Amino acid sequence: MVRAGLTVDRIVQAAAELADEVGLDNVTLSALARGFGVKDASLYSHVRNLADLRTRLCVRAAREMTDLIGAAVAGRAGKDALIAFADAFRGYALEHPGRYAAGQLRIDPAVAAESVGHRRSVELTYGMLRAYGLREPDLTDAGRLLRSTFHGYADLETRTGFSHPRRLDDSWRRSLEALHFLLENWPRTTQPEPRNTGAPHPVPDPDPAAGCGAEDTGYGAEHIEHTREEEKTGE
């Protein structure tokens, strides 16, 4: 790489690629500078420090993941949406382990609040879960269960933490079947949410301490847009 055209976006992209290749912990400004063929000081004109770079990586990972999963679940709802976004979540984590790790970092609450990816992940999760008739506090509880399951499975798979000879894909499919069954039979603390009331549903702010894999987030793209249209029309 050459010095010409060095920008924040190119630096963050290079950091993302390096994280996937050698692991997030091995991404340093010195390593990036060597890759660009410049001195470390050249990068400080674009990023303040390593913490700033990691924050930018987290924000990028949130946007990439929600874009990917949003596309995967377009036009789907219920079980189909659950499977689609779960597969896309797992696929991103396995294909981009460094970026995914960056997505689990805790970042400044103000930055998270302004991050499109962080906010969209919350909206997509809540939109998908409402298809199961859930409302608060069950929405938050179910969102936490989904994130715990998907993150835990992907993290263990990435670390080769499963040693039993049974195929991982088979266990994954059965896990999604079980989650769908549970969501359909959720032990509600409130009555099922009525549909088409004409009243907008509140969307919570991103958890300021949770990072891009943010607590209470998941993905389920087009359903929330469909829900919003229903709310506007009352149909």
d(CA 112, CA 210): 9
Query: pTM for this one?
Result: 0.79
Position 154: which residue type?
A: A
* Distances, alpha carbon 80 to alpha carbons 128, 134, 177, 206, 229, in Å: 10, 17, 11, 25, 20
Q: What pLDDT was estimated at residue 71?
A: 93
Q: What pLDDT was estimated at residue 209?
A: 30
Please state, as a whole number, how many other Cβ atoms lie within 10 Å of the Cβ of residue 205.
Answer: 12
CA angle 196, 201, 207 (to 5 degrees): 150
Dihedral of alpha carbons 134, 136, 137, 140, sign: positive
Q: What pLDDT was estimated at residue 123?
A: 87
Token pair of 90 as six digits: 């797992």
Dihedral of alpha carbons 63, 66, 69, 75, sign: negative
Span 70-117, pLDDT tens digits: 999 889 999 999 999 899 999 999 999 999 999 999 999 999 999 999
3-class DSSP state for residue 209?
Answer: coil
Phi first, then psi: give them for residue 213, nearest 5 degrees: -85, 40
* Distances, alpha carbon 107 to alpha carbons 10, 56, 82, 140, in Å: 21, 9, 27, 21
> Considering only CA atoms, which of 145, 84, 118 is closest in space to residue 214?
118
Give yes or no for residue 132 having a pLDDT over 60. Answer: yes
Span 209-227, pLDDT tens digits: 333 444 444 333 333 333 3
Token pair of 162 as six digits: 């499963």
